Every structure is written in structure tokens, then in C-alpha cells.
Structure 1
């Protein structure tokens, strides 16, 4: 081997090592946020969102995903509402013979136009359809500012009624119905369960709520103060904007159909799975709602995922904790479809510790994503010159 080749190899190795060091230093720097240190994987995703390096329609890098065939057929249609309008729904129907349990899914998005719809949350719904073997119906309820409260909740409840009335067309089992939602959609999911109880509507077997907003009132929650900047994917400004346009009248803030945490009666509601995130302004109110449900005799399973931010389930393809939360929801929903969920005193579970190999994998993937993001940033700067 000539000296020139040896020199080239050594230079190449030195460059690779330097790049690795730059990536590691950058990721570790991103891990130190305004409210404290976050895990490496959470840090790179927060950095990516903060720097607009990811979009709602962007797919994760192929090296972090697995391929497979779909177990369902998907169809989008428009269904009529009582006021003459039509709203979109997307039906994910298993390919195998039914009848199948029915999951009604309500997407997040701050109750506001431009913050979320059935397309932005399609990955979560696809995962639920694949994992549960249920018919999953994603509801495109109307949102503010054009449609303030109660349009979103009325649309969502009418979508439930439509699903029951038309269950035979998609091989659905009306004896096994669950409502699921994230963030604003978590609020709507539990409100729909309350509406079904109050209006003697369809029986709901369970509700699964991902980091739900549960009150529009000015309640002093520690998580609202610590994580309200917007760096953790939801800000105080967005929450105030949602309140301004979705509940424009102050009297609406105490309505149980906007603020279920303030409801006078939470009895006779379906068993609930409530999943919250450590770095989330909505964390404390979601957990407070779970505690209140339990006080009224409702079976509640509450899990806080440490080390992650609001909306982390949407990143389930690249976050083990997001995938774990989806798996918990799958197990819970399937259990509720097939047996009675027992009541136990409220007990908030904390999911924090990972297996050693899983933790090493997470950190390695964090550095890989960090390198990918640094590369994107570098290319963007070069293109701007």
C-alpha cells in the first residue's frame, strides 16, 4: 500500500470521526432545553420541528422503518350532518371477514383550521387499524374560527350515530365501539362519550385519550407553566387562540362539553385509557381528568411517558415510546372489546426506563437522525448562497 493511499485512508477516517463528533456534540447541545434536559431522540425531533426541518406529510427515513402489506382497505367519503353540511370521514376496513369492532378516531389540532385534519393524523389511524384489526373511522369534524363550539362536538357525535346506522356497509360490530383521540381530539372523544351517555345514544365500550385538553378555564397547572413556550409542540399562544375562536364566550369555558374536567357528573362513562407526556403543557390536566373519572367509579388506566413531548404518538415510527403507547392503546381497546375492564383506585403509572439494548438503539438512531438533520441544514445554507 502506497503512502498516498494510506494518507487518503487516514484522512477519510479522520473526517468521519470529526463528523461523528460534530453530530454527537450537536445532539447533546439540543438535549438541553429551556425546561431541562430531554432524551437524545426527543431532542433531535424537537430541534427538527423547531427549525421547520420536518412537515406533517414527511415520511421518516427508510432505515428507521419496516415495510409490510396493508391489512385494511381505505375509503374517504362525505357524510351528511343535521344542519345540511357534509363532513369527510375516512374508513379503514379490515380485509378479512367481519363483523369487526369499531373505533371512532378524532384528530388533534387545537380545534382550529390549519392545525390538524384527517390527513395529518393518518399515520396514527393506520397504525390503529393494523394493530387492532378493527374498523377505524377518522372524523373530519368542522373547526374554528368558521365553526366555533358546539359544531365540532355535534359533528363528532353525529359521525358516531352515522357509524352505528351504517355499520353493515363496512362490516362493523355496533356492540363493540370505542372512541379515541389525541389532544383536541382527546377532548372531543371523551365529550362524545358524555354526549352518548346524556342522550341515551350508542353504548361505548371504552375511550382512549392521548394527551387530551380537558379544560378551557384558567386553572393553575404546573405543566402549563413549564412547557408553554411552544418548543414542546404546543404553546400557550396556541391554547389561547383555540379558546378565543373555539369558545368565544366565557360561559362556554365551564360547559362540560368543552371542559370535561369541570363536569358536575362523570359517572357512568366508559373505561378510559389516558396517556400523557412529561414535556407537555396538557400533562397535568389530562392526569387530573383521569383522577376525577376514577373518583366517579370509572375504571381508568393512566400512563405518563417520561422523556417525550406533546404529540409524541404521531412520531411512533421513529420513537419507541410512541410505538409503546400505541401498543398500550391496542391492548386496552381489544381488552375492552372482549371483557369488562375492572375498577381499581386511580394509580398513575410512569413509563421511563428502557431496556439497555433499546436505550442504546434509541441513542444511535438519535445520532443518525441528528446527522440527517445537520446535512439538511448544511444543504439549505449552501443552496441559499
Structure 2
């Protein structure tokens, strides 16, 4: 009897494995091309409501490994507020992992489409914490005010006030006020780029770098291939959300031309700090981020632009389970280290480097993890169908 039972179990396991492999392969095939297995399973989980996500990108609990996101380093976090006008204060969070003095300072602006409910310090804390741990920097991040209650230029003003506050108070947290960089993702990448411009224009803190993760660089109607190809929302950013952001954050059309909303169209980009721009292959914002890098280069600003192939908008938020996201953060930390030492120079030609993904053992582990996640999703989908009958 037990032999029959064992055979039944073996047959079931083999059938389930075949179904899992077939499913992951199917999820990987899209009209825009074949996705890496890890990207495919994450997108399938999100787009088929098999994991609990808010409207912003955050890592599902079952996808998060047990290992610390902070590389085993003890974090010190301080919540405070800064004045942002008469009788108005905005929350600011300060992260620090090192007890050394005169550490570099990073002012980080979280993404979220400039809209209430689409992003916050909490939804982006994993990126901010990890960047602090990998760089040894003091990272200061504001909860800037967003639309629809606050339209442009409130977010820009809050972002710049945070930079000025960092210049005055960084030393209290072990940071060097003479060594500040700005960074951000998506809408926050826009604010980081704009804050760098505003600091130049208004004689603010002298920045040593700007780090832009898949930034939005224009609110204008520009014909970019990536906007037309990847705007369905399947790749975690839709045309609908982009139009909503424009309608509520920049409700007046003349705002779209302002260099502090659309840095891509700024007449003068000279004198800005060295930049590293990271874009994703399957992202509506890909082309405008890379075009902004080209314009910075033409203005003789040192710039490194890297496209991560096989990734979607917001992929760095998944660095805990995506090797590409982990590499993006590591390479960003390396860039900031070199930039703080003045070792990033302007090149003769502008190129967009492309990273195709991991190889060797790392690739094998990515595939194995993708199949494990795929098996979970197949099982959960089957269970949901059974329960709904």
C-alpha cells in the first residue's frame, strides 16, 4: 500500500513541477519580448493579485528572504520635522549605520507619482536603508507634500528645503555638510534632478553627485517609444497613472514647460553635479531618462547611464529578490564613493551601458528562486480557484 502511495506522491510532484515550469515559461512570454523568469513571476504575482500590494511598489512578505536588508549593520533612525513655511512642518527621516564622523550625506526623495497614496517613506524604506548601509552615508529623506492637495511647486520647495536643512544639520548626525548628494526614484528621481538644478540656481549646497533611478524628466507630450510600448500598467507604471500625476501635480499646462517639472527641457544644464542614471528596459520612463543623460553629457556634466535589461519600472524596490536590483544598488554605491572623491569625469562620447543580467551561479540561483516562487503562485492560484467554486 505504501508503495502505491509513494508512487502517487512522486507522480503528483512531477506533474506539479511540469506545470510550474510550463507556467513560468508562459508568464515570461509577452508581446514586448521574453522576460527573465524572476521578472516574469514577480509581474505575474502583482498583476494577478496573488500578493498583497498597495498602489505603490513594495516587496511582498513571501518574496522577502529572512536575511537582513541592512547587511547585518545596526541602523540608527531618527524621525524629525523641518519647517516648510509658516506654521507648516514636514516629516523627515534620518538614517545612519556608521559611527564615523564626516560621513557623506545623501538626500533621498522617494517615488510615488507625486500623488497621495502612491508612495511614502515607509513604502520606500527598504531602498533608503540599504543605500545607507552600502554607502556608510547619512541618508536624509523627506515626506514631501503631494497632490492633489499640494500641486507644483510645493514638492519642489519641500525637497529644496530638506537639502538646505541637511546642509545645516548633517554634522549633528555625523555627516559632512560639504559632501552632499541627492538621489531618488521615479517621481523622486525627478525631484532629485530638479533639486540639483535649484541648488545651482540659488547658490545652495554644493553637491558632489546626483543619483537618479528611472526618473520622470518631462511632463510634456513627447513621442518616446518606451512610453508607447510599456504604458499598459503591466510593467508597474501605466499611462493612466502618468496622466493622473500630470493632471493633479501640474494642472496648468504652462507648468509642463517649467525646468523644475521637466528638467529634460531646461535651457541650461551646465554646472550640475556628476550623475548616474539607471533605467529599466520595460519602463515607460526609460527613453526620457536616457535622453536626460544625453543632455547632461552635452552640457559637459559627467554622467553614467545604465539600462538594466529585463527589468520593469521600480525594479530596485525588489533588490532583495532580484539580482539586477541588488547590482544596481551596489553599482550606485560605487558611483557615489568615486564621485565623493572626485573620480568621476566627463567622457568624450555619450553611451547608454546595458546590463543583461547575472551569469554563472547567480543566474542559476535566480532561476531556481523564480521556479520556487512560481510553484507558490501556481499553488495559490489553484487554491483560490478551488475556494471560489
Would you say how many aligned residue pairs link Structure 1 and Structure 2? Answer: 381
Q: Indicate whether 1:295 and 2:292 are aligned.
A: no
Match of 1:103 among 102, 106, 113: 106
**Who is 1:212 aligned against?**
215
Match of 1:357 among 354, 361, 368: 361
Cα deviation digits, residues 291-318 of structure 1 (max 9, x gap)? 0000000000010000010000000001
Cα deviation digits, residues 143-173 of structure 1 (max 9, x gap)? 0010000000000000111111112221110
Runs of 5+ consecutive residues of structure 2 not aligned to the other structure: none
Distance, in Å, in 2 between the alignment partners of 1:184 and 1:178 is: 17
Distance, in Å, in 2 between the alignment partners of 1:76 and 1:350 is: 38
**Who is 1:222 aligned against?**
225
Runs of 5+ consecutive residues of structure 1 not aligned to the other structure: none
Contact 2:171 2:177 survives alignment (8 Å): no
**Who is 1:246 aligned against?**
249
**Who is 2:162 aligned against?**
159
TM-score between the two structures when normalised by the length of structure 1: 0.96
Contact 2:218 2:263 survives alignment (8 Å): yes
TM-score between the two structures when normalised by the length of structure 2: 0.95
Distance, in Å, in 1 between the alignment partners of 2:247 and 2:63 is: 38
- Shift in Å, 1:99: 2.2
Distance, in Å, in 2 between the alignment partners of 1:379 and 1:91 is: 43
- Shift in Å, 1:80: 1.3
**Who is 2:3 aligned against?**
6
- Shift in Å, 1:383: 4.3
Match of 2:123 among 112, 120, 123: 120
Contact 2:217 2:261 survives alignment (8 Å): yes
- Shift in Å, 1:262: 0.3
- Shift in Å, 1:54: 3.7
**Who is 2:61 aligned against?**
59
Cα deviation digits, residues 254-277 of structure 1 (max 9, x gap)? 100000000000000000000000
SS state at 2:271 partner: coil
Match of 1:35 among 32, 37, 44: 32
Q: Map residues 194-205 of structure 1 onto 2, 5 A cutoff.
A: 194-205=197-208
- Supply the RMSD in Å over aligned alpha carbons: 1.4
Cα deviation digits, residues 111-170 of structure 1 (max 9, x gap)? 000100101000000110110000011211000010000000000000111111112221
- Shift in Å, 1:72: 2.3
